[in-house]
A and B are shown apart, each in its own frame.
Chain A
């Protein structure tokens, strides 16, 4: 990559910068055209991008279908952040029992209405979601589903599909959660 070409890649670099600064994932199956373009760019110029960001202390991490940046040199995790990830024990369990097809390998699209109708007939799932105090206030089953989807979107694991109301995609980055749970071991 010649630096004189930089101006041509300005838009792509802005997306990559946004992901770096805000800790977002660059997903292969994103519905956003720019993110997809950035994914393909990083895929093509992986080494160049890695070298460039290494200079300013960031490492580009590549996983199946997504990229993200990490900062080297941090030794502690902010406590609230641990709690944020622990919430995913509840959410991932809920999603798996609600529809076992939901996962990073099968991104969907999934429909909030389908999830709602499934939730309406399953008391066990309703109890499960009612106990999730970390979610936004919700009074109906639909609101509960919406707040889970909103949380997934906020954390970079899901995306809406264009104008389709209530339809969403699970992004490849959800593998990050799957891998984390996979690694945990426990005593019986």
Chain B
């Protein structure tokens, strides 16, 4: 996984920093410690933004142990390739540390000073931490970008790449943790070097924090990929159905007809929409048809009450129901007389449900022509209803 830095931007930052450093040097605000430039952000406020940008670009390392600013050992590599994050670098860094340990051991035998090796080791530990941090940042950014990708195949391929990178990172982090456990006794007990111990602890703490996040992200991504695979199957199915359709084999080679049969119920009212919108007569006849077909009544409904019209002879039933269920007809009858709606409907010998049904539909459909009094309540068969009369 490689992230490219814009070379123009990099060079600009480098030049800005160079000028700022020269200026600070002229002012005398840069101090030297053991041959390494010492940077104190409080003293060099004008210098800080330029230096921070260079830290961002990994030109400098800021050593929190000695509060020093050091030239990054990745700097030369950056100048050559302009690359930022590479998970494989973590493994290379471990090899560098092993090599440096070997050098230290040789120097110790000859009782030579090995402080430059320990400084390098500290720098390597810092850069491992930085690589892990940047890899996570970059992968999170990529994951978000890939999930929003609209082209399905591109999205799928990218997310699998992202998962591979994330898995590699997870392994690299685990390896680093093992590496630290293995070498910590050497640095702490054998060398007794405080600065290296500090950097080891810092890296171990960082790993502890990110490890959970990485595995969580990896789990999420794996779940998302399962979803993506389901989507892929859907697309494959749609492609196949489309082929069958254009070859005229859809009904022959699939069960689509019986599946669409499920739609019969909802299909009907949409059909009504186009031809008979708001036609009371038609709705009444649909209701009638539903009743003639002895509509499926749920068990709890059956326990309540069996509707009398279901057992009446066909002819009578049709006449009676049409009369009872057409709101328009009831309304016409209602406006010809002076009683309130509830009293008017009481005369019609309706059962409780029919009574309620017609009462609600009348109120809803003709509310503009009705006067509804909320203060006066009429009671019929245990139902409380408002007092409704015709208007004017």
Residues of A within 8 A of B (CB): 2-4, 6-7, 10, 13-14, 17, 20-23, 51-52, 54-59, 61, 68-78, 81-82, 85-86, 89-90, 92-93, 96-101, 114, 118, 131, 176, 180-188
Contact = CB atoms under 8 A, between A and B. Distances in A.
A120 to B, nearest CB: 13
Q: How large is the interface on B (under 10, 10 to 19, 20 to 34, 35 or more residues)?
A: 35 or more
Contact of A184 (B231, B259, B361): B259
B270 A4 contact: no
Contacts of A61: 266
Contact of A21 (B254, B277, B325): B277
A3 B357 CA distance: 11
B386 A98 contact: no
B114 interface: no
B244 interface: yes
Nearest to B254: A186
Contacts of A185: 254-255
A68 B353 CA distance: 22
Contacts of A51: 301
A184 B277 contact: no
Interface of B: 148, 150-152, 155, 231, 234-235, 237-242, 244-246, 250, 253-257, 259-273, 277-278, 283, 286-287, 289-293, 295-298, 301, 325, 353-354, 356-357, 359-361, 363-364, 367, 372, 374, 377, 383-386
Nearest to A8: B374
Nearest to B150: A99
A55 B85 CA distance: 69
The 10 closest A-B pairs by CB, nearest first: A57-B290, A70-B265, A23-B269, A73-B293, A23-B270, A93-B238, A186-B254, A72-B295, A99-B150, A100-B152
B166 to A, nearest CB: 21
B146 to A, nearest CB: 12
A74 B268 contact: yes
Nearest to A90: B242
Given A4-B377, A72-B293, A81-B271, A57 B287 contact: yes
Given A4-B377, A99-B150, A186-B240, A73 B292 contact: yes
A7 B245 CA distance: 51
A19 to B, nearest CB: 9
A124 to B, nearest CB: 11
B241 A186 contact: yes
A89 B269 contact: no
A70 B259 contact: no
Nearest to A93: B238
B297 A89 contact: no
Nearest to B288: A57
Contacts of A7: 363, 372, 374, 386
A96 to B, nearest CB: 5
A187 B296 CA distance: 34
A176 to B, nearest CB: 8
Nearest to B385: A3
Interface centre among B151, B301, B325 (most CB of A within 10 A): B151
Contact of B150 (A14, A68, A118, A183): A118
Contact of A57 (B262, B286, B359): B286
A52 B359 CA distance: 12
Contact of B155 (A59, A100, A183): A100
B290 A89 contact: no
Contact of B259 (A13, A57, A71, A183): A183
Nearest to B265: A70
Nearest to A118: B150
A82 B260 contact: yes
A160 B364 CA distance: 28
A89 B260 contact: no
B263 to A, nearest CB: 6
Nearest to A105: B227
Nearest to A70: B265
Contacts of B245: 86, 89-90
B296 A85 contact: no
A168 B261 CA distance: 30
A68 to B, nearest CB: 6
Contacts of B263: 77, 81, 85, 180
5 contacts: A4-B374, A73-B290, A81-B270, A92-B238, A101-B148
B277 A22 contact: yes
B34 to A, nearest CB: 57
A75 B262 CA distance: 10
Contacts of A74: 264-265, 267-268
Contacts of B374: 4, 7
Contacts of B301: 51, 54
Contacts of A55: 353-354, 356-357
B211 to A, nearest CB: 31
B356 A22 contact: no
A69 B269 CA distance: 9
Contacts of B293: 72-73
A22 B269 contact: yes
Contact of B254 (A6, A54, A75, A187): A187
Contacts of B242: 89-90, 93
Contacts of B256: 86, 184
Contacts of B377: 4
